[in-house]
Chains A and B, each alone.
Chain A
């Protein structure tokens, strides 16, 4: 064997062996492999369509985030004006603008100065006789929107980490969308509830003087500064939902921002779970003051606009502890504690896409896909052997190398195998054969022109070379576009297709050639079996 041929064999053998070492841990055989082998190597990941799981796309209501932010700024503004002794009558929002009104025209200059000095992010948009309108600058609005998405991602990641899902994938998409992928998820309902909750916790006082009946009659009857909220209780036995209305003062006396901890505890009296929360020192101080000032009044604990409970304050509560009760199961109490600890979302999120695949469907898909791959593979290998005889055997050998290396490369890149991805591999088998067919047909043509076998083989490879490159590059172009624009399963298809194409170039142009060269060198062939 000449040195040249020997080297090529060594290279091929090395890569094949490497590929086998790489992909074996991703197969069912991995159970009987030694630990160092099983754990140290990257693996082919299974797509959600094959192993089951959930793919969510959430849309952050970034307009609402801006609104919330403006509300906070207004509160600060009121404090600033009071400090500077600027007499204003009202600060309120009007659409996306902030309207500051005043009685006395003398305050106008000092008011404008105070806003300009303290809130450069506000821009005056218009003024009337007794009021000035401000709006956030465009760059600030943009910043808040971006911040709301990244903050929401952070919070959701936090919640999912506490929930415990292996290998979650959370990332931003576009301006205000978040993609959440939870492979192998068992309880999608619970996960959606956990992720989608805005989790704004507020403590508000009840307006016990207000007329609840009138408020419930219709619009316009709710006292100024109040709102009508409901407490929903589900009867555990009958499943019936009972709604209790409350007339509540709009202003929150305390919010969930000041929480340091939230845990599930069991009520010893009724043996029911509740969530125990702990405030930080500031929150504890506020809570103590409020409770001291409102003894025998009722305070509502509100999450995302739903009243959880509205207990009567019996005494001053120090130590910064409170409890949220409501007809919880252990699960719902645990989830509430998780979302409270992870913090509120900066704005509500909406689920705009949800793909959930159960594990059984995934298993069936894998089985069907692999069966199709094996049947298709055998058909093609059999046809090649039948049609091209010995040369067909050589191309079959290249085809098998191709599949082994494809699997190895996918493991190496930690690529994700999806159901269309399996189809991509199957298609690679079909298209991969094409390179060999091109070469063989060319060799046949060259033989017809009366060349010797050796030179016909060389010419066949030479001439087919560029055709093969051209045809592969064009397919690669479409695979690259698919990768760029596709998502999930389709990306998986693009990955297996493009890796398959690249490896096919190698096995077709190097893999089969070396076998021909080797046979040719051993004994001068009189007839080529092709």
Chain B
């Protein structure tokens, strides 16, 4: 069975449209990335420091009532999120000052009094001091930087330097794109999301490497074809693989999105977006980038 019969799509020919699209995506990502150190982005408390408490009530409750209770007691800055049969409440307070423990005790006390007829248990509490947050931010940046460097070195060693650079640019593009989408959707960016970003960097690269591998193979036995045609042919040759693999990975991620639970929902979403954009970028970003530097006599490989 074949999804595609021999395709001859001119991907390279559409590269300028793709570049425009990609530059817009990346710009949004760069804006999001630039806002992070300024504290303007929706960062998780693991980066900003603060308190998060998850409560599970016996009965469903009305979110507005919870909101009103907290406002009354001076916790206007808290973010509330209600989920799972409307009896779970996640309370987040960023940049909490003073003793974190006292703050979280005060918040739970609000509900012990305010929802006296609806008992609850504390399912989880997270309290992060501001210095930890800054350290985690720095660690996350290092992690992204080092893995991109590792990837560049490996791909440059296995292929040629230009392949390595193209792969890293495409990977960076994907990370930025997902970051940008998260920023636009006002999703919280926390450690788990950074993990997802690094994972999708790995995935997107896998995809790019597969295409590059075929380009290299076809370059070696090239006849009179121009590079544009070789790249086009290579992408077309691996296209059904690309679609099947992305498809199966997306299937799995959809099941994680739907039934993986609240804790990893956004994590799965980031990976889902990452697979989409990673597949796109290996075709429309990484491969056309090779054309920018053809080397001596228009050859890409020695």
Contact with B along A474-507 (1 / 0, CB 8 A): 1111111110111001100100010000000000
Q: Judge whether A17 is part of the interface by a CB distance below 8 angstroms.
A: no
What is the CA–CA distance of A472 and B201 in the complex, to the nearest angstrom?
12
Which B193-249 residues sit within 8 Å CB-CB of chain A?
195, 198-199, 201-203, 205-207, 209-210, 213-214, 217, 237-238, 240-241, 244-245, 247-249
Q: Judge whether B180 is part of the interface by a CB distance below 8 angstroms.
A: no
B126–A356 contact, CB under 8 A? Answer: yes
CB within 8 A of B150: which of A59, A355, A364, A481? A481
Which A118-151 residues sit within 8 Å CB-CB of chain B?
none
Of the stretches A222-230, A242-250, A251-259, A419-427, the one at the interface is A419-427
Contact with A along B137-155 (1 / 0, CB 8 A): 0011011001100110011
Q: Judge whether A213 is part of the interface by a CB distance below 8 angstroms.
A: no
Q: Judge whether B191 is part of the interface by a CB distance below 8 angstroms.
A: yes
Contact with B along A350-386 (1 / 0, CB 8 A): 1111111110110011011101100111011001101
Q: Judge whether A13 is part of the interface by a CB distance below 8 angstroms.
A: no
Of the stretches A79-87, A155-163, A319-327, A428-436, the one at the interface is A428-436
Known: A355-B126, A420-B267. A474 touches B155 (CB 8 A): yes
B249–A427 contact, CB under 8 A? Answer: yes
Which A residue sits closest to B260, measured CB to CB?
A372
B201–A434 contact, CB under 8 A? Answer: no
A471–B209 contact, CB under 8 A? Answer: yes
A354–B126 contact, CB under 8 A? Answer: yes
Interchain nearest-CB distance for B154 vs A (Å): 6
Known: A434-B245, A475-B203. A481 touches B147 (CB 8 A): yes
B101–A351 contact, CB under 8 A? Answer: yes
Q: Judge whether A388 is part of the interface by a CB distance below 8 angstroms.
A: yes
Interface residue tally for chain A (C-beta within 8 Å): 73
A376–B252 contact, CB under 8 A? Answer: yes
Interchain nearest-CB distance for A57 vs B (Å): 6
What is the CA–CA distance of A188 and B121 in the complex, to the nearest angstrom?
13
Q: Hey, which chain A residues are within 8 Å of B121, CB to CB?
A: 358, 360
Q: Hey, which chain A residues are within 8 Å of B54, CB to CB?
A: 361
B124–A379 contact, CB under 8 A? Answer: no
Which of B100, B143, B240, B244 has most chain A Cβ within 10 Å? B244
Contact with B along A340-353 (1 / 0, CB 8 A): 00000000001111
CB within 8 A of A474: which of B122, B139, B154, B256? B154
Known: A474-B155, A477-B150, A485-B140. A375 touches B124 (CB 8 A): no
B255–A420 contact, CB under 8 A? Answer: no
Which B158-183 residues sit within 8 Å CB-CB of chain A?
158
Of the stretches B22-30, B128-136, B287-295, the one at the interface is B128-136
What is the CA–CA distance of A41 and B142 in the complex, to the nearest angstrom?
37
What is the CA–CA distance of A376 and B241 in the complex, to the nearest angstrom?
19
Q: Judge whether B192 is part of the interface by a CB distance below 8 angstroms.
A: yes
B140–A478 contact, CB under 8 A? Answer: no
Q: Judge whether A473 is part of the interface by a CB distance below 8 angstroms.
A: yes
Which of A379, A422, A431, A479 has most chain B Cβ within 10 Å? A431
Q: Judge whether B94 is part of the interface by a CB distance below 8 angstroms.
A: no
A387–B203 contact, CB under 8 A? Answer: no
Known: A354-B127, A380-B251. A365 touches B263 (CB 8 A): yes
Q: Hey, which chain B residues are within 8 Å of A422, CB to CB?
A: 260
Q: Judge whether B38 is part of the interface by a CB distance below 8 angstroms.
A: no
A358–B192 contact, CB under 8 A? Answer: no
Known: A361-B54, A438-B241. A423 touches B264 (CB 8 A): yes
Interface residue tally for chain B (C-beta within 8 Å): 70
Q: Judge whether B12 is part of the interface by a CB distance below 8 angstroms.
A: no
Q: Hey, which chain A residues are within 8 Å of B39, CB to CB?
A: none
A467–B127 contact, CB under 8 A? Answer: no
CB within 8 A of B143: which of A59, A386, A438, A485? A485
What is the CA–CA distance of A57 and B123 in the complex, to the nearest angstrom?
20
A430–B213 contact, CB under 8 A? Answer: no
Q: Hey, which chain A residues are within 8 Å of B129, CB to CB?
A: 57, 59, 350-353
Q: Judge whether B298 is part of the interface by a CB distance below 8 angstroms.
A: no
What is the CA–CA distance of A497 and B267 in the complex, to the nearest angstrom?
15
A372–B259 contact, CB under 8 A? Answer: yes
A437–B241 contact, CB under 8 A? Answer: yes
Contact with A along B21-57 (1 / 0, CB 8 A): 0000000000000000000000000000000001010
Interchain nearest-CB distance for A430 vs B (Å): 4
Q: Judge whether A470 is part of the interface by a CB distance below 8 angstroms.
A: yes
Which of A352, A371, A438, A444 has most chain B Cβ within 10 Å? A352
What is the CA–CA distance of A49 and B262 in the complex, to the nearest angstrom?
13
Q: Judge whether A73 is part of the interface by a CB distance below 8 angstroms.
A: no
User: With A355-B126, A478-B151 given, can you name 15 additional A-B contacts, CB distance below 8 Å?
Assistant: A361-B124, A369-B260, A383-B248, A383-B251, A420-B264, A427-B199, A430-B248, A430-B253, A438-B245, A441-B241, A470-B213, A474-B205, A475-B205, A485-B140, A486-B191
Complex A-B: 18 CB contacts under 8 Å: A188-B125, A351-B127, A352-B132, A358-B123, A358-B124, A365-B263, A368-B261, A383-B247, A383-B248, A386-B1, A387-B3, A423-B260, A437-B244, A441-B244, A470-B209, A474-B202, A474-B206, A486-B191
Leading 8 A-B pairs by shortest Cβ distance: A368-B261, A352-B129, A430-B249, A376-B255, A471-B206, A475-B202, A478-B202, A376-B252
